[in-house]
Homo-oligomer: A and B are copies of this chain.
């Protein structure tokens, strides 16, 4: 689909601007009978919420979700389940400060969508980026929470940051537990410390840095995805590149695959006890020919540095005249940090859609 809807059978539509009354989404096509409450969704929203450490924006948003439709709680069964009808969710914008943006309403911030929205539409909601704000991603996370229910407990989706600025992690020290213990989603304790120092310095300089997020989905059975224009990797690439500030996506070995030989790159197989193959490596990142192999699905996303920075930059105004701009306000010094739950959510949505479509076509 185009514009503000994505997915085919599991389909998500989002709406809302940064400084309007709220944001929200409609999740359509959900299987009926799945338990779903507001707290199920809230759990994931809380992981993305701003203001949780000094390394992210200080905007104070409780991000309290309200489910408006598509679930029904029968007093006899005493639990609330999906009905198969569209699930509408609304999150109010609590901490709006539209006035903060008066200074820049006629200026185009470099690296931002300010100029392109004006070029396309001839009008834009300049308050906090309007529709292009990272705030929109809360609606994605809410939808992702529903997608996880569709996938069930057998599929586990987890993201981690593997690089901030020029500092990468040591993959030998990877610990998923550690990801929960630092404000950077870092699987490597040591890297987290170095990132903390980098970000303190970056903020002090009125600057920002980029990041790379890695996401993994385990438990996906072989067979999901639809060649040739509904390839699972193509849909993942589209979904992840559509996240604010994303500039690159790779699956499995990714760009490194270009430097490998066919002998190195082949994920050899040997017979497993259940008749299924045991793969001896996973350079494919769990996808071959656009269809899942049963191995973990692995993707990485490059996130550019936050474009809203204090350091003055050269720009033009709406009238086409030269100007200088310095973006004040409450911005993430590394927007990639809060991107991790968004990346998880988008992967969950793509996989939920792939699951339902696979079932539709094949009955499995």
Contacts and interface: CB of A to CB of B under 8 A. Distances in A.
Interface in A96-138: 108, 110-113, 115-117, 119-125, 130-132, 136
A176 to B, nearest CB: 21
| Highest count of chain B CB atoms <10 Å: which of A226, A306, A358 | A226
Contacts of A275: 319-320
A267 B112 CA distance: 9
Interface residues of A, number: 160
Given A69-B17, A237-B241, A266-B313, A8 B8 contact: yes
A236 B9 CA distance: 20
Contact of A271 (B70, B74, B254, B322): B322
A5 B15 contact: no
A72 B130 contact: yes
A83 B289 CA distance: 15
Interface string A65-76: 010111010100
A224 B8 CA distance: 17
B21 A260 contact: no
**Interface of chain A: mostly helix, strand, loop or mixed:** mixed
A251 B247 contact: yes
A357 B2 contact: yes
Contacts of A234: 238-239, 241-242
A13 B13 CA distance: 8
Given A121-B33, A229-B3, A305 B17 contact: no
Given A85-B131, A207-B261, A265-B210, A223 B119 contact: yes
A163 to B, nearest CB: 6
A334 to B, nearest CB: 9
Given A69-B15, A117-B289, A261-B305, A4 B26 contact: yes
A20 interface: yes
Contacts of A319: 275
B132 A269 contact: no
A172 interface: no
A251 to B, nearest CB: 5
A261 B13 contact: no
A277 B207 contact: no
Contacts of A311: 262-263
A208 interface: yes
B241 A68 contact: no
B21 A226 contact: no
Given A258-B212, A360-B356, A26 B31 contact: no
Contacts of A222: 115-116, 119-120
B116 A223 contact: yes
A344 interface: no
Interface stretch (A40-48, A51-59, A186-194, A280-288): A280-288
10 contacts: A2-B29, A3-B229, A15-B70, A15-B87, A113-B288, A116-B225, A228-B242, A247-B285, A248-B255, A268-B314
9 interchain residue pairs of minimum CB distance: A113-B289, A360-B360, A238-B238, A248-B250, A234-B242, A208-B262, A237-B241, A275-B320, A116-B291
